[in-house]
Amino acid sequence: MDSEAKETITEPTTDLFTNWGPYTKEEVIKALEEKKFTFIPPKPNAEYRQKIQPIISDLSEDDKLILKICLTFLEKGLLIDNFGKNEEERHTALLNNKIEINGQPIRLYEFSKTVNKLAGNPINSILTAAQILNNQDIRNEAEKIAKKIKELKQNRSFFKPEDIDDVDKLAQKIIDFILNKYQ
């Protein structure tokens, strides 16, 4: 890792925490603006990281995985475009454009998969994590959100930031549920 990235974010102490440093640099944000994308960079959630750090060695492998999924989702940024329902134009822009991260070219498609919480897979990962937990309230909430997400996908093929507020709240509930198990 280069020294600039270390200055941007503290070095993670475990693979449970994602190092977002390379994705938060000003030149990344400017490069995305040039390609007609608005980018809100990822931001580490210091509060949850501080709560998780002392119990990492006590966590079951399943709980570690679920915490990683949920914390990563909460910390991810937003890559917003103005293509509306024009999926072809969106896919072309994501597949044909590159930016540099730490001097390495990366397709916007790969970049988006890594840092964008508006992508479908991270949302589905939260819904799946909720189903694994032994908590019926969280499972029921996930089912309601899954129905809402399905309707959104049918009406338009992309997500807006306001579409995922409930997913953020669910990820927080999942983390809190797991943390409470180890108190």
The β-bridge partners of 80 are 38
Instruction: Count CB atoms within 10 A of the CB of residue 22.
Output: 21
Residues 6+ apart with CB under 8 A from 112: 79, 94, 119
Instruction: Count CB atoms within 10 A of the CB of residue 16.
Output: 17
Q: Read off the pLDDT of residues 37-60 as tens digits, 9 standing for 90 and up.
A: 999 999 999 999 999 999 999 999
Q: How many domains does the chain have?
A: 1
pLDDT band at 1 (very low <50, low <70, confident <90, very high): very low
| Secondary structure class of 76 (helix, strand, coil) | coil
Q: What is the domain extent for residue 161?
A: 3-181
Q: Read off the pLDDT of residues 122-172 as tens digits, 9 standing for 90 and up.
A: 999 999 999 999 899 999 999 999 999 999 888 877 788 888 999 999 999
Q: What gap in Å lies between CA 96 and CA 34, rounded to an integer?
A: 14
Tokens of 8: 């941007």
| Secondary structure class of 16 (helix, strand, coil) | coil
Q: What gap in Å lies between CA 170 and CA 176, rounded to an integer?
A: 10
| Secondary structure class of 41 (helix, strand, coil) | coil
Give the global pTM.
0.86
CB 128 within 8 A of CB 50: no
Q: Considering only CA atoms, which of 128, 140, 112, 139 is closest in space to residue 69?
A: 128
